[in-house]
Amino acid sequence: MTWDPFRYLRFDDERTRPARDLLARITIEAPTTVVDLGCGPGNSTALLAARWPAASVLGVDLDPAMLDEAPRRCATATFERGDVATWTPRAPVDVLFSNATLQWLPDHGALLPRLWSLVAQGGALAIQMPRNYDSPTHTEMARVARSGPWSDKLERVGRGAPVSEPAFYYDVLAELAPRVDVWETTYEHALDGPEAVVDWVRATGLRLYLEPLDEPERAAFLDRYTEAIRLAYPRRPNGRSLLSFRRLFLVAHAA
């Protein structure tokens, strides 16, 4: 699965805002080591480096295109290629931060304890994940996939929603950390019409449906999906469309 950092960053402010909100709830004043797991094009890494300029900040991502772009966004950080599912630091880190990444990984009941084990004494684990799989952006992807001539190719795409209810994550982290903060926020992003909503998801979840298709199929899929999105996200009186986007936030402090 390939990523396009330039398409992703067309909505830079909207995508970075949850990282700012997550960062604001971390109370550690002077960490020595900070890691951005799934750093993408470096937009969240730049926030970490600005918050703690004296810290050693590392961004980790698996996608080469994202890693090529990241140093342009944050010249003071170090970046390395790594799989978030298995990445391990050389020593425990003070702040382990992950913005809009872990929703791509399964078995969060095992993943969160593993990540917590990488946090230093007195450190913090901070995670944000989308939890909007029941919104039209995603339900219409699945419907169009099932209803078109490409259904066989897409039979196994998009199955399941790996992000659970907030209480699940609280219970997992409360067994590990003395202080746990869990909350959800629904952002109302005012985008430039339904086509912009399609462009938003083309940078993320819609790629899973488009990549297995040939060019004619891809164009036909996009036509059907865009028509559904026009109905689900109509233009407001000022010409813009509101994209409701729910996100889950988790912050666990070791002290």
CATH code for the domain of 125: 3.40.50.150
Q: What is the DSSP string of 162-197?
A: ----HHHHHHHHHTT-SEEEEEEEEEEEEESSHHHH
Question: Taking 90 as the threshold, does the pLDDT of residue 186 lie above it?
Answer: yes
Number of domains composing the chain: 1
Q: Is the dihedral of CA 215, 216, 220, 223 positive or negative?
A: positive
- Give the type of residue at 125: L
For residue 48, what are the domain limits?
5-253
CA dihedral 10, 16, 17, 19 (to 10 degrees): 160
Helix, strand or coil, per DSSP, at residue 249: strand
pLDDT band at 12 (very low <50, low <70, confident <90, very high): confident
pLDDT tens column, 127-153:
999 999 999 999 999 999 999 999 999
| Percentage above 90 pLDDT, the chain | 89
Q: CB 166: neighbour CB atoms within 10 A?
A: 15
Question: Taking 70 as the threshold, does the pLDDT of residue 225 lie above it?
Answer: yes
Q: CB 202: neighbour CB atoms within 10 A?
A: 18
Question: Taking 90 as the threshold, does the pLDDT of residue 9 lie above it?
Answer: no
pLDDT tens column, 203-223:
888 999 999 999 999 999 999
Phi first, then psi, for residue 75 (nearest 5°) are -75, -20
